Amino acid sequence: MATSNQTVVRRFFDELVNQRRYDRVNELIAPDLVIHTQVPGVRGGRDGFLAFLRLLLDAFPDQEATIDLLTEDGDLVTVLHTHRGVQDGPFLGLPPTGKRIEVQRVEIYRLRHGQIAELWHHDDLFTLFTQLGMVTPPTVAG
C-alpha cells in the first residue's frame, strides 16, 4: 500500500522533529536531499539535514512543533507550523538566553518515492530574533 505524501510529512514532524527519532532519517529523507533555507552554512543530503536539525534542537532542546495547516499538491506538501521552546543552547552566535520562543515556519516539501527529496524552509526570523532580544521592534506612531 502506497503511503501518502502528507503521511510522510506528518511522520517527519512526529518522529524526527518532536520525538528526535534520528533512526528514521534513512526512511523519511532522500540521500540527496536539497535544502533551501535562510540559515547560513546548511548543506544538503541526510548528513546536512541532521546537522541542520541538531543546530535547531541543540539551541532549543525542548522544542516541539505543531502543524497548523498542511496542504498537498502533487509531489509538494506545504506546512505552516509553530515551534515552541526555550533557548537553552547557543544559536547562530547568540549564547543561551533562557527565553521562550513561539515562532511560525512555512516549509514546502517535495517528495519522491515516499521520501522528502527537497525542502524549502522559511522562518519568521523577525519574531524569533525579537523574542530572543537580538532586535528591538520598531515603535509605530499612532
Residue-wise pLDDT for 1-52, tens only, equals 446 999 999 999 999 999 999 999 999 999 999 999 888 888 999 999 999 8
Please indicate, yes or no, if residue 139 is contained in any of the structural domains.
no
Question: What is the CATH classification number for the domain harbouring 32?
Answer: 3.10.450.50
Average pLDDT over residues 107-112: 98
Ramachandran angles phi, psi of 137, nearest 5°:
-65, 145
Please indicate, yes or no, if residue 138 is contained in any of the structural domains.
no
Please indicate, yes or no, if residue 142 is contained in any of the structural domains.
no
What is the rounded average pLDDT for all residues in the chain? 93
What pLDDT, on a 0 to 100 scale, did the predictor assign at position 59?
Answer: 95
Cell of 45: 543530503
Please indicate, yes or no, if residue 141 is contained in any of the structural domains.
no
Please indicate, yes or no, if residue 68 is contained in any of the structural domains.
yes
Share of the chain above pLDDT 70, in %: 97
What pLDDT, on a 0 to 100 scale, did the predictor assign at position 39?
Answer: 81
Please indicate, yes or no, if residue 140 is contained in any of the structural domains.
no
What pLDDT, on a 0 to 100 scale, did the predictor assign at position 3?
Answer: 65
Q: How confident is the model at residue 81 (pLDDT cuts 50, 70, 90)?
A: very high
The whole domain housing 10 covers 5-131
pTM: 0.89
Please indicate, yes or no, if residue 137 is contained in any of the structural domains.
no
Total structural domains within the chain? 1
∠ CA 85-67-7, rounded to 5°: 130
User: Based on the number of CB atoms within 10 Å of its own CB, is 30 exposed (0-12), middle (13-18) or buried (19 or more)?
Assistant: buried
Please indicate, yes or no, if residue 136 is contained in any of the structural domains.
no
